[in-house]
Amino acid sequence: MIGATMIRLLLVEDELAVRQGLTMRLSAEPDFSVIGEAVDGEAALEMAGRLRPDVVLMDVEMPCLDGIATTCALLTICPSTAVIILSLHDDACTQARAKKAGAAAFVAKSMPSETLLTTIRQVAH
């Protein structure tokens, strides 16, 4: 995009097929750039500190360090990064935990992809 700012994204998802699908879908958007992919919270923290993404898409359930704990830690390392929690568990408890951790938004994985795209653009600006 000429003259537009790219939104730099870091994907944090332990399921390979989900991560690949997200990367493919997000890369099709002219204003998104997927700058990294992490398979767990520990890798996400290292990558976020090094890459300084605008937005992190964070799965909740992951090995080593779950998405809620990773969000808390990530926001101390990169306070200007917005975290969007992605989860299969679209319940009030999970949403409340995400908000308490500092997530800018919560998107259920069952939602249409347009919901995620809109949310990314909203939290990035």
* Residue 103 structure tokens: 């997530």
Per-residue pLDDT of the chain (125 residues; tens, 9 = 90+): 444 689 999 999 999 999 999 999 999 999 999 999 999 999 999 999 999 999 999 999 998 899 999 999 999 999 999 999 999 888 999 999 999 999 999 999 999 999 999 999 999 98
Residue 1 placed within a domain: no
Print the domain residue range for 72: 7-124
pLDDT of residue 2: 47
Could you tell me the CA-to-CA distances from 49 to 36, 52, 53, 68, 111 in Å, in that order?
A: 12, 6, 9, 17, 29
Residue 59 inside a domain? The answer is yes
The whole-number pLDDT of residue 4 equals 61
Structural domains in the chain (count): 1
Residue 95 falls inside a structural domain: yes
